Each structure stands twice: as C-alpha cells, then as structure tokens.
C-alpha cells in the first residue's frame, strides 16, 4: 500500500495530532525507552560522533539516543534532526528548551528533496529513521533511502525502524495513514539504494513485544 496522503495532508495530520502522537508512541507504547535500550545494547555510540535523525518528528529517536549517550557517559556527540512538519519540530524544540539541551540542531526538510539542509549536514557516523518511510510512496522508497545513504561517512551505519505488514498494524495504519511493508520490500529497497551490508536487528528484553510492529534494519555503507 502506498501512502494515501499528500505532503500537505501529512503536515495537517501531524499538526492536528502532534500531542497525541507523542503521548501514544513515546509514552503509552514505550517506544522511546525501547529505542534507548536498543541503542545501548547495540553500542552504536562513541565519542565525537555525528548523528542524524531523519524525519525526527517530536524527537523520540533523538531523545532516546541522547539519553543513551548520557547513560553510557559518551560525549561529545553532535545531533541533527529534520522533519517537514513544523508543529512536530516545535514540540521537539520545547523539550530542548525545557531540558536546557544545546547540542541538538533541527531543520525543516523533506527526505525526497533535502536541498534545504545546511551544507555541513553530511558525513554522519549514524543515520536513524523511525516512522519516516511509511509516508513515502513505495516506488520512491529506494530513492529516499539513497538520499540518506549519501549523507553517511564510509562505513557509516543507518538504522531504520519501519512498519511491518501485519494484522496487528492495521489499526495504526488506519489511524495514521501509514504504509506497511513486507520484509522483502524493505530489503530490496535498501539493496536498490546501494547498500550491500544489511541485517535485521532485535530489541532486547523487555521490549520484544514491539517486534509485532516494526522491522529494525541495520545497513552499513
């Protein structure tokens, strides 16, 4: 299924439901905490690294990475994040101000057209995307992944959390108009984007229940 919404419709949806989205996924379903535990387990973080959160929304993945870095006493780390819905970025900015965090930079951009990103936003050690590709038409998925691959350093890592095509996901798909994917669709898109080193990863205990929702893809440039 390709996304039923245009870019403008997606912006309207997430402007109207920004608070609900944050509460539902980050807090009720525990997604932010699950990502934090995953990033700690996988040991992706190291000092002086550079991280991009693509389609960052209100910041769940970046917050998880930031907290994982603090928990593991890893610094300095440069964090960048982009999204094309200003209302979601505003929620993220409010969290940054509230917590007096100054090493996270945000920008408005579209993964299919990233010319608005600052020129210095490149050479990343890690690119993360959670809930981004569900709003990309499937015939453009490889292109979107390739755009992010271009921003990685050699041997840089991309980690993507992407919705499975399952019965359990149908309600979420109806509520949020998200596409769902078969494993073969995801792997083929990464291969077409130029990745040859692709692996499926797993969440640690106690977060394994979330595997009913998504695949976790690790791809190395």
Q: Strand, helix or coil at 107?
A: strand
CA 166 to chain centre: 20
Q: Where are the domains of the chain?
A: 7-220
Nearest to 53 by CA among 76, 24, 83: 83
Question: Minimal CA–CA distance to 203: which of 48, 31, 49, 84?
Answer: 31
> In tens digits, what is the pLDDT along the chain, a chain of 221 residues?
445 678 888 888 888 877 887 777 777 778 899 999 999 999 999 999 999 999 999 999 999 999 999 999 999 999 999 999 999 999 999 999 999 999 999 999 999 999 989 999 999 999 999 989 999 988 999 999 999 999 999 999 999 999 888 776 777 777 777 888 999 999 999 999 999 999 999 988 888 777 778 899 999 99
Domain spanning 7-220, CATH architecture: 3-Layer(aba) Sandwich (3.40)
Phi, psi (rounded to 5 degrees) for 81:
-150, 140
- Give pairs for 37-44: CB < 8 Å, separation 24+: 37/203, 37/204, 37/207, 38/64, 38/201, 38/203, 38/204, 38/207, 38/216, 39/64, 39/65, 39/68, 40/68, 40/71, 40/72, 41/204, 42/201, 42/218, 44/126, 44/157, 44/159
181 bridge partner residues: 164
How far apart, in whole angstroms, are the C-alpha atoms of residue 162 and residue 149? 16
**pTM confidence score:** 0.92
Q: Could you count the other beta carbons within 10 Å of the beta carbon of residue 180?
A: 18
Q: Is 170 helix (H, G, I), strand (E, B) or coil?
A: helix
Name beta bridge partners: 54: 82, 129
């Amino acid at each position: 299924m390709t996304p039923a919404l245009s870019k403008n419709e997606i912006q309207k949806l997430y402007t109207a439901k920004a608070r609900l989205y944050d509460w539902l996924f980050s807090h009720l379903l525990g997604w932010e905490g699950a990502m934090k535990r995953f990033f700690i387990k996988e040991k992706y973080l190291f000092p002086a690294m550079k991280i991009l959160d693509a389609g960052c929304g209100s910041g769940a993945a970046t917050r998880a990475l930031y907290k994982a870095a603090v928990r593991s006493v890893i610094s300095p780390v440069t964090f960048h994040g982009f999204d094309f819905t200003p209302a979601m970025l505003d929620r993220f900015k409010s969290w940054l101000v509230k917590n007096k965090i100054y090493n996270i930079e945000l920008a408005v951009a579209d993964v299919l057209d990233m010319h608005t990103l600052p020129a210095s936003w490149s050479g990343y050690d890690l690119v993360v995307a959670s809930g981004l590709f569900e709003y990309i038409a499937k015939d453009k998925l490889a292109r979107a992944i390739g755009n992010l691959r271009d921003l990685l350093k050699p041997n840089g890592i991309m980690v993507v959390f992407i919705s499975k095509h399952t019965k359990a996901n149908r309600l979420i798909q109806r509520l949020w108009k998200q596409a769902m994917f078969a494993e073969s669709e995801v792997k083929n898109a990464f291969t077409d984007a130029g990745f040859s080193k692709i692996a499926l990863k797993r969440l640690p205990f106690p977060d394994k229940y979330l595997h009913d929702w998504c695949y976790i893809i690790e791809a190395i440039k």
